[in-house]
Structure 1
Amino acid sequence: MMFKVLQTGSLVAAVVTTGLMAGLFAAFSYAVMPGLAKVGDRAFIDAMQRINVAIVNGWFMVSFMGALAFAGLAAALHWKADDRSVLPWIVAGFVLYLVMFIITVAINVPMNDKLMAAGDPAKITDLAAVRTEFEARWVTWNIVRALTSTAALGCLAWALVLHGRVTGKG
């Protein structure tokens, strides 16, 4: 009984945290970045620098790291289950989320760091060049993050549905 509670709990936590991350990246794709696209270079750089500082907080980190940890735990717990029909969906969700995680760490975070290193927007001599180097590439990779994390969410949500069906039989 406790084992099934752990399986269910880890899978629910994976779905919730993955959903929070998918929503964040999607919101940046369809609202934040299109809105910022309409402001001047100084305002764009200033806003993105401020967002990059504000986003590194406990709520973000729990979701960002938690989704990977909870999906991994759910996979491990379902690996040992009598009925492993849910496992492929959990593994697919984990892998898709891992792809998003790697993109974030390898591409978006270094770009954010470089934007931060450009310094105070009031003192940057070529604001347009800094923005041009950052914006299009960051937006493109954020869309990839939105798609992969949303696909991960879909896989994990389907795994939860299947888990419910399997658990309901026993």
Structure 2
Amino acid sequence: MRQLLTTGLLWFSAIGCGLIAGLYFAFSTFIMTALGRIDQAAGIAAMNSINVEIVRSLFMPFFLGTTVSCAALAVMGLLRLSEPGGAAMIVGGGAYVIGMFVVTVVFNVPLNNALAAVRPSSPEAASLWAVYLKDWTFWNHVRTVASLGASALFIAALAGS
């Protein structure tokens, strides 16, 4: 039963981390660049709209569910550290929880909140938008790498078990 639970969590986490990594990859490689190339007020309005819709979408159950399953896998990996895949579960779970979830809460969400609080056509919006594009994208790169790395580690754990 324990092995079945572990295998199920590994599959769910590998797929969930991969999906999240793909979304973040799209933002890092072309969406933020495209938003930065259009009129500032339009870019801010578009990003604010994305930020409102994403929390209402199917993204949130994967975002939260994958975070919980990754944390569980990190703990389960500690209990089976000497077994094949145990270390990959610890590192993958930790990378995702810290590199994706904590980074989101500590960096990306506060940037989103600041952007939502500014009037898109105001003078202060120009400097905020420039900082937002640079900083939000940097932290999104971190989330992309953490999510992709976690997915790969969970796949390795599956292959090793």
Structure 1-normalised TM-score?
0.85
Conserved 8 A contact 2:74-2:94: no
| 1:15-164 superposed matches below 5 A | 15-77=14-76, 79-80=78-79, 84-99=83-98, 100-119=100-119, 121-122=120-121, 124-163=122-161
Structure 1, unpaired ranges of 5+: 164-170
* Percent of aligned pairs sharing the same letter: 32
SS of the equivalent of 2:106 reads helix
Tell me, in whole angstroms, the C-alpha distance in 2 between the residues paired with 1:35 and 1:58: 22
Tell me, in whole angstroms, the C-alpha distance in 1 between the residues paired with 2:136 and 2:31: 12
Tell me, in whole angstroms, the C-alpha distance in 1 between the residues paired with 2:125 and 2:74: 46
Deviation of the 1:109 alpha carbon: 0.1
SS of the equivalent of 2:55 reads coil
The Cα RMSD (Å) is 2.0
Conserved 8 A contact 1:7-1:78: no
Q: Tell me which stretches of 4 or more aligned residues in structure 1 moved more than 3 Å.
A: 74-83
With 104-113 and 34-43 compared, the bigger mean Cα shift is at 34-43
Deviation of the 1:37 alpha carbon: 2.1
SS of the equivalent of 1:37 reads helix
Residues 78 and 91 of structure 1, relative CA distance in 2, 3 Å threshold: closer
Structure 2, unpaired ranges of 5+: none
Count of residues paired in the alignment: 160
Structure 2-normalised TM-score?
0.89
Tell me, in whole angstroms, the C-alpha distance in 2 between the residues paired with 1:107 and 1:65: 17
